[in-house]
Amino acid sequence: MAESKKYTPKAKNNQLSEHGQVPPQALELEEAVLGAIMLEKDAIIAVGDLLKADSFYKPAHQKIYKAIMSLSSKEEPIDILTVTEELKRQDDLESCGGPFYVSQLTSRVANAAHIEHHARIIAQKFIQRELIRVSSEIQSSAFDESIDVADLLDKAQQDVFDIAEGNIKKESAHIRPLADEVIDQIIAASKREDGLSGVPSGFTALDRITSGWQKSDLVIIAARPSMGKTAFVLSMTRNMAVEHKAPIAIFSLEMGADQLVKRMISSETELGSEKLRNGRLADHEWEQLHTKIKGLIDAPIYVDDTPGLSIYELRSKCRRLKAKYDIGCVIIDYLQLMTAGSDMRGNREQEVSLISRQLKIIAKELNIPVIALSQLNRGVEQRTGDAKKPMLSDLRESGAIEQDADMVLFIHRPERYGITEDAEGNSLIGIADIIIAKHRNGAVGEIQLRFRNQLARFMDLEGESPDVFGNNHVVAQTFGSSMNEEPVGYDDPNAGLHVGVDFDEAPPF
């Protein structure tokens, strides 16, 4: 079988139209803008963040604007003479039409009164040309059957994303309307009984610190394999969607959608996963299944198990889900299984850095919290005692994850390392430490949750008797990759619950 060709874009500044049409342009406005910049000293300030050299259609205008930006960066005066000298220094003067052409540009406009409006039109024409260019490349490559389709899709999405990211600017806003909006949010939070301003996780102690997951935040939840990362976010998803009716999107890159839903049903109905697999339920268990599942199946939860999902595919899917279902939170399980597209393959650290950066951009663009699970490196295993608690430096593959995240949480279950009691002699069996190691807009700290090993479910500690799920367990002496490996000497007090189900295997890398 012939090796598929890699999709490579054509030259970016191709000025010819394949359909015989003149590309979108505004030559007169380009001349007017360049002339206005050379007439008034502050004109460049109005257009500097709107235009770049490629925004101009005519190559001579591109070179003139480059000379202008070069002068601006050196804080030198910008006029006909200085621009002419800069072009001469760059050996571009003659290719731009000489001193006469440069001087003629100032006659195209009387003053710089409308320069910003003219610049926006030029920028719009450039975006149109870029869309035409990218569309033409995609169409041409789509006819070539030797090009890998997945590679083509990744590159096409990336090119369109780059056009939007590089050219659509957001205006600065005065503080008054921003302050009014914040005050409205504070008032709305004060009227809520729980006092939360974000999407509640359903864990009381955690929500007390975070006030719920906040809009536009990137939250990283990290742990070593078998600590219960997936169980934690599934428990949280259930709380958010069933109890608080918040629409949640889950992107599961590690586990199939049916497996994910089976775990949620097992947790919700308190029926062992093995029983759900083989269907051997007693009459009362069938009734238990149908009764307890009602809230879950009606909950606004949307599951996507696309394998090898790229960051650009994720962004497109999130946009559609936001438009169609107004999702309130996105959960990704997990970050290291995502890809950044064909261009970044081979440099894993840069790829993970790009993914984390783009996740933050998605959170800001859609104005929703994005929660991504992440692996930790093996350094945790080399430490002893309390030193096994994860730290920010343990985040795997890239320091950019820590940098981009608004919050970083670690899940630590001491019993996985054979630690059964704390310094005061309290049992740690069935206890999970949730460590808030970074909180850009709030306090850091540590809370404890109850972990029901049989159901892979996290719960609040408040009001729960530790004897129900903790003190009657005997801790296993060895720990494999299975989070739910049955401990040595374990005596299951809950009839009908299977403990040996492998809920959270260690991922492949």
DSSP 158-199: HHHHHHHHHH-PPPP--HHHHHHHHHHHHHHHHHSTT--SSB
Say how far apart CA 413 and CA 420 lie, in whole Å: 10
Say how far apart CA 26 and CA 13 lie, in whole Å: 16
Q: Are 225 and 481 in contact (CB under 8 A)?
A: yes
Same CATH fold assignment for domains 27-166 and 194-460: no
Say how far apart CA 357 and CA 342 lie, in whole Å: 17
Domain 27-166 matching CATH 1.10.860.10: the answer reads yes
Q: What is the pLDDT of residues 431-452, one digit of tens each?
A: 888 999 889 888 888 888 988 8
Beta-bridge partner residues of 395: 376
CA angle, corner 291, sides to 285 and 292, nearest 5? Answer: 90
- Residue 455 DSSP label: T
Dihedral class, residue 396 (left if φ above 0, else alpha if ψ from -120 to 50, else beta): beta
pLDDT of amino acid 60: 93
DSSP secondary structure of 244-275: S---EEEEESSS-HHHHHHHHHHHHHT--HHH
pLDDT of amino acid 64: 93
pLDDT of amino acid 486: 34
**419-428 CB contacts, 8 Å cutoff, 24+ apart:** 419/385, 420/475, 427/466, 427/470, 427/471
pLDDT of amino acid 58: 92
| Helix 98-105 vs helix 27-39: crossing angle, to nearest 10 | 90
pLDDT of amino acid 167: 65
CATH class of 194-460: alpha beta
Place of tokens 């979108």: 24
Report, in this order, helix, strand and coil percent for the chain, each rounded to 5: 50, 10, 40
For strand 457-459 and strand 445-452, is the pairing parallel, antiparallel, or unpaired?
A: antiparallel
Say how far apart CA 370 and CA 332 lie, in whole Å: 8
Total residue count of the chain as it appears in this document: 509
pLDDT of amino acid 171: 64
Q: Are 368 and 328 in contact (CB under 8 A)?
A: yes
pLDDT below 50 — which residues of the chain?
A: 1-15, 464-509
Query: What are the residue boundaries of the structural domains of the chain, listed by start?
Result: 27-166, 194-460
Number of H helices, E strands in the chain: 19, 9
Q: Give every strand in the sheet of 457-459, ordered side by side.
A: 301-304, 248-252, 329-333, 370-375, 218-223, 407-412, 431-439, 445-452, 457-459
Tokens of 138: 């995609």
pLDDT of amino acid 468: 36
Q: What is the pLDDT of residues 321-352, one digit of tens each?
A: 888 889 999 999 878 888 776 555 557 777 78
Residue 59 neighbours by CB under 8 Å, 6+ apart: 13, 15, 95
3-state secondary structure of 414: helix
